Amino acid sequence: MICLPMLMIVFYAFTTQGNEVLTLQFTLDNFLRFFEDSIFPSVLWRSLKIAINTTLICIAIGYPCAYVISKLPGNKQSLMVLLITLPMWINMLVRTYAWRGMLNDSGLSNEMKVYIGMVYNFLPFMILQIHTSLSKMDQSLLAAAEDLGASKWQAFLKVTLPLSLPGVISGITLVFLPAVSSFFIPKLLGGGDFVLIGNLIESYFISTGDWNFGSAISLIMAVIILISMYITKKLDRQSKEVH
Amino acid sequence: MKKIIQFKNIVKQFDNQIVLKGINLDIYENEFVTLLGPSGCGKTTLLRILGGFLDADDGEIIFDGEEISKVPAYKRDINTVFQKYALFPHLNVYDNIAFGLKLKKVSKDIIEQKVNRMLSLVGLEGYAKRDVTLLSGGQQQRVAIARALVNEPNVLLLDEPLGALDLKLRKEMQIELKNIQQEVGITFIFVTHDQEEALTMSDKIVVMKDGEIQQVGTPTEIYNEPINEYVARFIGESNIIDGIMKDDYLVNFDDHDYKCVDFGFKKNEPVDIVIRPEDIDLVPRNKGIMNGEVKSVLFKGVHYEIIVETTSGTSKTVTMHVLGNKDIVNDEAHEKISASDFYMDLEDVENLTDAIVVARANAQAWNNEDEDVSLAKIEYDVKNAIGTYPCTFATAKGTEITINITVVKPVYTEDKANDEAIQAFDFYKTVDEIKESIALDTDLKQWANAQAWSLEDESPIEIWDVKYDFDDEDIKEGDYQITFSTMGRELKVHTTDYQEVGTKVGVLFAPEDLHVMSKMGN
């Protein structure tokens, strides 16, 4: 049941349009078309760039937030976690519409608006992941580091940071993946001319009805995601070995 | 020897609770000092203040001639072995130990030299590359010690480091720690609540209680000459007896004078006397200083722990009226009900509740299937005066029984010598109730409402003995005498010779085995 839709996508991606069982034709045209037309790779590149930047911004804002929260006393900590999860109780689409209302007359560039929407939507995932790994950390380790001659800053660099890396890495996975394939945030906030790979897939499936090409783009995306996940996993393992 | 640490009037409070009440303590170079006390006595707080993890509210810490209260932890020449080791889980054994040296920017080859020397000191050669999270408790312990010692501190603090280890490993580590301390020749300050650990390892023991130091001394001083009852109880097992110091070298307890080696007390000063269980010998009757009867024997492995009663306790005899079966049967409702008359103390009438009445009367109802039926009605009108009052119990279906509650004047026996009193009442029971009893001694105490208390402060005293001469499996209607008594003077004796419970023996100890101490608070 889980694999069936995936298999259908693979099937569509490698066949020509108008599939009737009798005229079934396997082809690589869909993929060739993607790379031959210069517009598609540039959309892909733009999507990756936005996803990577979103992830970096989320780390830059999320880590200090999570760190501060993890230093609060227990009940305030739960309150802050609740406040961070609170927006998630409301549909993401509705919240993005709300942002559209607010940003429409702001005079910001479309790219800026997309970044705001993305960071707003995905930041909680980053904060929660990092917060979990920070709050799990045994506080006596910091006392031990200090005892061995580490200043507060050194203790942070040598103990807190490496021990919170797994949280950062799972935060990256949780932010990067939805960011790279998101389609309604650029659609709603990008003013219609800001096309990302997610929008491409959506338009081929829904507007054009070219399921085969849409499937091919999805597959390419899937491969890219797979590669990026492999790289993060590898980084994760390396960070453990280095220390 | 040189003083390395001086605590001067250290005060600390948390949430308005004073945990350290002005600690003054000197610690010398190369000493193995143990802070000993139960949890909450302030020993860990004192250690954390010295380590720099807590600030004292008041007082000074002089370290090597300098006041260090304001020096942050990372600048103090002190290292700590934490309670749960606090090893860095993301570093291997080598990097954990090298942590402090790397921060000091020591060159690589020197770090390697020092770490390897530490590994061999703690017996972990070949473990350098191991993941610390996969080590056993004892190995983690050794890494924690090595990690602290590699920095060559002047003082090593150890916060209950052996608490998480099993008994055998703990004993091994005790010896090993002592050896390491002697080898590196620095001051160890060790915190523990385990008196045996303290006695085994320390050069000096500091006994603490409620944020105050009780006694400072070598293990033998603390054991042989405890300064007060608290220290005596905390260190080793002991018999502690209230007595009066008649004169120098003469102490009185249980109405007899005994020679002792203590002097310098006021005439007739009330004192506590300690006799260690292993200092007492059991000899044939009339061959010792006093006579007694063996009350209980426990096998403790190397020795037996024998409780000997040397003076009898306070006792009270009551009559148990045993009646035949008088269950009331209600054929219509298919139910039975039973309850017994009982006596009660005039003083208790005010506090009488339904639950007490049901328990004292042992009122119960049940149906043909032997299921309990609850009592729907409990009616009594007991006046606050001596007399006999009826009391009726009934079920919802109308099965009922009436009994008599007899209110009597409190009757108790006082024993001025033991400073205690005991009371008990006559009572009624049926043959069946006695036969059905699972724990007869306990039930008899409850039925007779037997209680004993101290005349000094009215605190309850355990009723140690219940004597009767009937066979509860085969009891008939009639009156029986039951005697309840408290334990008299009990002496705990450790000996390798077995004694039968009930044996009459003589008790022998030497004048130097009596350790006389001032009463606490004086």
Task: Output the CA torsion sign for A51, A52, A57, A62.
Answer: positive
- CA distances for B140 relative to A136, A148, B92, B120, B204, angstroms: 20, 17, 11, 14, 27
> Which of chain A's residues have a Cβ under 8 Å away from the Cβ of B91?
243
User: Which domains occur in chain A, in start order?
Assistant: 30-242 (1.10.3720.10)
Q: Cα–Cα distance between A56 and A60 in angstroms, integer?
A: 6
Which residue would you say has higher pLDDT here, A221 or A29? Answer: A221
Mean pLDDT score of chain B:
88
In a domain, B497, yes or no: no
Chain A contacts of B89, Cβ < 8 Å? 163
Residues B285 and B347 in one domain: no
* B211 within some domain: yes
Q: Which stretch of B47-51, B415-419, B505-509 has the lowest confidence by average pLDDT?
A: B415-419
In a domain, residue B417? The reply is yes
Residue A239: the pLDDT is 64
Instruction: Give the integer Cα–Cα distance in Å for A88 and B108.
Output: 51
Among the three residues B206, B232, B258, which one is the final residue of a domain in this structure?
B232
The answer on B244 and B225 residing in a single domain is no
B304 and B325 both lie in a single domain: no
Is B461's pLDDT higher than 70?
Answer: yes
Q: Considering B232, B263, B278, which residue would you say is the last residue of a domain?
A: B232
CA dist., res. B488 & res. B311, Å (int)? 5
What pLDDT is attached to residue B35?
Answer: 94
Q: What is the ipTM of this complex?
A: 0.76
> DSSP alpha helices (H): ranges in B34-84?
43-51
* Structural domain contains residue B500: no
pLDDT at A66: 94
Q: Is residue B204 part of a domain?
A: yes
Give the length of chain A.
243
Structural domain boundaries, residue B177: 3-232
Q: B49 and B25 in one domain? A: yes
How many residues are given for chain B? 522
Q: Which two tokens stand for residue B406?
A: 């007899």
- Average pLDDT on B193-219 reads 92
* Bridge partner list, A44: none
Q: Does A137 touch chain B (CB under 8 A)?
A: no
B16 plus B140 within the same structural domain: yes
pLDDT digits (tens, 9 = 90+) for B166-191: 888 888 889 988 988 998 889 999 99
Least trusted range by pLDDT, from A161-165, A183-187, B165-169, B490-494: A183-187
| Residue % of chain B over a pLDDT of 90 | 34
Count of the separate structural domains present in chain B? 3
**Separation of alpha carbons B66 and B192, rounded Å:** 27
- Band (B7; pLDDT cuts 50, 70, 90): very high
Which residue in chain B has the smallest CA separation from A242?
Answer: B91
Cα B307 from Cα B295, distance rounded (Å): 5
Give A146 to chain B, closest Cα distance, Å: 5
B287 and B178 share one domain: no
Residues of B in contact with A147 (CB under 8 A): 51-53, 73-74, 78-80, 82, 148
Cβ of B103 within 8 Å of Cβ of A149? The answer is yes
Pairing of strands B515-518, B504-508: unpaired
Same structural domain, B47 and B195: yes
Q: Please give the single-letter amino acid code of residue B160.
A: E
Domain finish residue from B232, B262, B284: B232
Residues B117 and B258 in one domain: no
- The string of pLDDT tens digits covering residues B324-381 is 767 788 888 888 888 888 888 888 888 888 888 888 888 888 888 888 888 888 888 8
Regarding whether B143 and B94 lie in a shared domain, the answer is yes
Average pLDDT rounded to a whole number, residues B36-60: 91
pLDDT of residue B233: 87
**Residue A147: which of B51, B83, B91 has the nearest Cβ?**
B51
Which pLDDT belongs to residue B311?
A: 81
pLDDT band at B396 (very low <50, low <70, confident <90, very high): confident
- The count of CB pairs under 8 A between chains A and B is 67
B332 and B474 inside one domain: yes
A157 touches chain B (CB under 8 A): no
Q: How far is CA B270 from the centre of its chain?
A: 24
pLDDT recorded at residue A23: 65
Give the CATH number, domain containing residue B200.
3.40.50.300
**Cβ contacts of residue B431 below 8 Å, gap of 6+?**
B322, B323, B324, B325, B475, B476, B477
Q: How far apart are CA B76 and CA B66, in angstroms?
A: 11
Establish if B501 belongs to a structural domain.
no
Q: Is B384 exposed, middle or buried (0-12, 13-18, 19+ CB in 10 A)?
A: exposed
Let me know whether B182 and B285 are in one domain: no
Contact B47, B27 (CB under 8 A): no
- Tell me the HSE value of B488 on the side-chain side, using a 13 A CA sphere: 18
Instruction: Tell me, yes or no, whether B263 and B348 share the same domain.
Output: no
Q: Binning pLDDT at 50, 70 and 90, where does residue A19 land?
A: low
Which of A140, A148, A156, A169 should be substituted to probe chain B, the one whose Cβ sees the most B Cβ atoms within 10 Å? Answer: A148
Q: Is residue B401 part of a domain?
A: yes
User: Can you name the residues that pair with B345 across neighbouring β-strands?
Assistant: B408
Contacting residues for B25 by C-beta, under 8 A, at least 6 apart = B5, B6, B7, B206, B213, B216
Most confidently predicted of A51-55, B168-172, B236-240 = A51-55
Nearest CA in chain A to B81: A144
Supply the DSSP string of B257-294, one letter for each residue.
EEE-S---PPTTEEEEEEE-GGG-EEESTTSSSEEEEE
pLDDT value of residue B263? 87
Distance CA A19, CA B124 (A): 70
